Amino acid sequence: MTSPAVIPIHGTARKPVPGAHRRGATHSAEPIEITVRVRRRQALPPSAIQATVLPRDRKYLTRETLASSHGADPADIATVEAFARAHGLVVTGSDVARRSVMLAGSAAAFNRAFAITLEDWTHPSGNYRSHTAPLSMPTEMSSIVEGVFGLDNRVFAKPHFRRLRATVPAHASALAAAFDGYSGAQVGGYYNYPSADGGNGQTIGIIELGGGYRQADLTTYFGQFGLPVPSVTSVSVDGGSNKPTTFESADAEVLLDIEVAGAVAPKAKMVVYFAPDGTERSFLDAITTAIHDSANDPSIISISWGGPESTASTAFQTSFDQALQSAAALGITVTIASGDDGAADEGPNEWDHLAHVDFPASSPHALACGGTRLTIANGAIADEAVWNENNADTTDDTFGASGGGFSAFFPTPDYQASIALVASTKMRGVPDVSGDADPATGYDVRADGQQEPVGGTSAVAPLWAGLIALVNQSLGAKAGFVNALLYANPTALRDITTGNNKVGTPTVGFSAGPGWDACTGLGSPDGQKVLQALGGSAAVAGGAQSMQGRRDTVRS
Confidence of residue 5 (pLDDT cuts 50, 70, 90): confident
Residue range 277-326, pLDDT digits in tens: 999 999 999 999 999 999 999 999 999 999 999 999 999 999 999 999 99
- Where b means 16+ CB within 10 Å and e means fewer, 228-252 reads eebebebbebbebebebeebebbbb
Preceding amide of 506 cis, omega within 30: yes
Judged against a pLDDT cut of 50, whether residue 396 lies above it is answered with no
* Pick from 276-285, 390-399, 499-508: least confident: 390-399
Q: CB atoms < 10 A from the CB of 420, how many? A: 9
Residue range 360-380, pLDDT digits in tens: 999 999 999 999 999 999 999
For residues 235-254, give the mean pLDDT.
Answer: 97
Which residue type does 192 have? N
Judged against a pLDDT cut of 90, whether residue 392 lies above it is answered with no
Which of 222, 79, 88, 188 has its CA nearest to residue 139? 79
Catalytic residues: 253, 257, 458
- 145 versus 5: the higher-pLDDT residue is 145
Q: 93: exposed, middle or buried (C-beta count within 10 Å: 0-12, 13-18, 19+)? A: exposed
Residues 6+ apart with CB under 8 A from 280: 149, 152, 156, 312, 313, 316
Which of 311, 289, 315 has its CA nearest to residue 303? 289
Q: How many whole angstroms separate alpha carbon 462 and alpha carbon 479?
A: 16
What pLDDT does residue 349 have? 64
Confidence of residue 394 (pLDDT cuts 50, 70, 90): very low
Q: How many whole angstroms separate alpha carbon 256 and alpha carbon 337?
A: 13
> Is-contact 374 442, C-beta < 8 A?
no
Confidence of residue 501 (pLDDT cuts 50, 70, 90): very high
3-state secondary structure of 462: helix
Residues 313, 314, 317, 323, CA torsion sign: negative
pTM: predicted TM-score of the whole model, two decimal places = 0.95
What is the DSSP track for 361-396?
TTSTTSEEEEEEEEEEETTEEEEEEE-BGGGSS-S-
Residue range 70-108, pLDDT digits in tens: 999 999 999 999 999 999 999 999 999 999 999 999 999
Judged against a pLDDT cut of 80, whether residue 352 lies above it is answered with yes
* Integer angstrom CA distances of residue 376 from 187, 379, 440: 10, 6, 12
Beta strands (DSSP E) in 289-337 are: 300-303, 305-308, 333-337
Confidence of residue 11 (pLDDT cuts 50, 70, 90): confident
Preceding amide of 360 cis, omega within 30: yes
For residues 17-26, give the mean pLDDT.
Answer: 94
For residues 423-438, give the mean pLDDT.
Answer: 96
Residue range 203-231, pLDDT digits in tens: 999 999 999 999 999 999 999 999 999 99
- Where b means 16+ CB within 10 Å and e means fewer, 278-317 reads bbbbbbbbbbbbbbbbeeeebbbbbbbbbbbbebbbebbb
Q: How many whole angstroms separate alpha carbon 265 and alpha carbon 259?
A: 10
* Integer angstrom CA distances of residue 492 from 86, 224, 523: 57, 32, 9
- 164 versus 114: the higher-pLDDT residue is 114
Average pLDDT over the chain, rounded to whole?
92
Checking DSSP bridges between strand 524-525 and strand 493-494, what pairing results, if any?
A: antiparallel
Domains of the chain by range and CATH?
A: 6-50+72-149 (no CATH), 158-546 (3.40.50.200)
Cα angle 94, 97, 99; round to 5:
55
Task: Please give the span between the terminal C-alpha atoms of the chain, in angstroms, as a whole number.
Answer: 73
